[in-house]
Amino acid sequence: MSATAAEPTAGRRRLGLPVVVLALAQLVISLDYSIVYVALPEIGAELGFSDHDLQWVVSAYVVTTGGFLLLGGRAADLLGRRRMFVLATAIYAASSLVGGLAQSPGVLLAVRAAQGIGGSLLFPATLSLINTTYAEGPVRNRALAIWGAAGAGGLCFGSLLGGVLVHGYGWPSVFLVNVPVALALAVLGRMLFPADQPRDRTRRFDAAGALVATAGLTLVVFLLVYAPAQGWTRSASLAAAGMGLVFLVLFAAIERRAPDPLVPVRLFLNRGLVMATAVAALFSATFSSLPYFLTLYFQAVRGYDAFVTGLCFLLPAVVVAAGTQAGPPAVARFGMLRLLVGGLAAGAVGALALIPAVSSDGSYLSLLPGIVLISLGQGSAWTALWIAAASGIAPGDQGITSGIASTSLQVGGAVGLALLVAAASGIGQQSSAADLLDGIRTALFVMSGALALGALTALMARRATSS
């Protein structure tokens, strides 16, 4: 029996625990993006971060994750999915331990960069393990829904868990909590997933393309995070833009001549992957940016501490999880494009509903209609986009496909948050309450418009496909 035939069979025999392990791995990736939000004030005060540099506790993770995802995706295909899963979780465990013991800003930023590299290896390994373990169709869709609930819910649950940990144990706990979880995942991954097949020597790794792409993408993501706040004409911005462009042009030249390119052009003939890549960027630019603005609102406007702020994210996490679980039956009944349109449209209406509810004396209850709509839209769109990304892709390309879509997710998040903060007049922890309210409302309005435009585009694509 071939390896590709054996993997789905094995997956059906052990449907339960492998999905739980893969979902927990996805939860770790998602949590590490958002769990530090509520800890930022304590981190800044205790380690001596300036207001200018504190954002890099989040951004260092985003930059390295976005830059290394294509490399991580191809490594999963060619070097082994289980091998990359174990390596990535070990990187998470080691870097998180150092982060919890960090005593200086430089060490903590290095830790966040290392966690980002771990995420760039773990995300495509995890997603490709699901897509090669479970046969395409209802079984895989159910597995993706469980995995998706962990990922999408983690964006909200991270703020909740971060608030609880910071309140009870201080900011180092948001790092140290990863250590036992990541080590357990490494052990379970080694035990549960089938051994990687011997490497196919007829396929080359395209090391030159991987290195050049990683350098170019890292510089581009750095530029998109750094320049909106610090200025596009700063020397660092100009250097990143120039070098990033050179590396990406060089990458395109290498790929044209590579016998086994890092990113095969033929993959972009798959409409599902193209659509998923576009939706992933929009998803991250909007839904994934919302916790940043809600955290500012809860802490800087309403004066909530880290614990209460975390509790405010409990309901969104539950509703997002419910939305992901509704995804597979909705896809079966209404189709993938309809679910994407519905999810984006619900998010647009929800963001619009939040605008009047965001006020200096408004209650949490007034936020609930908008939060529920956004969370349902987030959960359903998240599941649908990953089903679309994997459909019709050969097992040997699942890793790089995951890398392509998740790179779009990370770049979209970096661009989206930077643009939304810029649209909100650069608001931050030190802004006045009046400026914060105006800025948050502006960001929500822009977010709603972007989601509505995305829903309209997806609807037009659906009509063009059916005609």
Is a pLDDT exceeding 90 seen at residue 242?
A: yes
Q: Is 260 exposed, middle or buried (0-12, 13-18, 19+ CB in 10 A)?
A: middle
pLDDT in tens, 106-152: 899 999 999 989 988 998 899 889 888 887 778 888 888 888 778 76
Query: Are 16-193 and 266-466 in the same CATH fold?
Result: yes
pLDDT recorded at residue 34? 74
pLDDT in tens, 305-351: 878 887 888 888 788 878 877 777 777 788 778 888 899 999 999 99
Tokens of 186: 């490494």
pLDDT recorded at residue 11? 38
The CATH classification number of 16-193 equals 1.20.1250.20
Amino acid at 18: P
pLDDT in tens, 31-71: 877 788 778 888 888 888 876 677 788 878 878 887 888 88
pLDDT in tens, 255-307: 888 777 777 878 888 888 888 888 889 998 999 889 889 988 998 888 888 78
* SS3 label, residue 197: coil
Q: Give buried/exposed letters for 290-299 (b at 16+ CB in 10 A, else e).
A: bbbbbbbbbb
The label of the residue with tokens 């994407």 reads 340
Give the C-alpha separation, 396 to 301, whole Å: 50
Tell me if the domain spanning 266-466 has CATH number 3.30.460.10: no
Mean pLDDT score of the chain, rounded to an integer? 83
pLDDT in tens, 15-42: 578 888 998 998 888 887 778 877 888 8
Q: Report how far apart, in Å, the C-alpha atoms of 286 and of each of 8, 142, 205, 445, 448 are.
A: 35, 25, 34, 11, 8
Closest C-alpha to 273, from 378, 143, 398: 398
Cβ partners under 8 Å of residue 42, min gap 6: 166, 170, 171, 306
pLDDT recorded at residue 194? 83
User: Is residue 1 within a helix (H) or strand (E), and if so which, with residue range?
Assistant: none
Q: Report how far apart, in Å, the C-alpha atoms of 256 and of each of 174, 211, 423 are.
A: 44, 16, 39
Give the C-alpha separation, 387 to 69, whole Å: 19
pLDDT recorded at residue 321? 78
Supply the pTM of this predicted model.
Answer: 0.75
Which band of pLDDT confidence, cut at 50, 70 and 90, is reported for residue 156? low
Which band of pLDDT confidence, cut at 50, 70 and 90, is reported for residue 466? low
Angle subtended at Cα 226 by Cα 222 and Cα 227, rounded to the nearest 5 degrees: 115
The label of the residue with tokens 């958002």 reads 34
Query: In the chain, where are the structural domains located?
Result: 16-193, 266-466
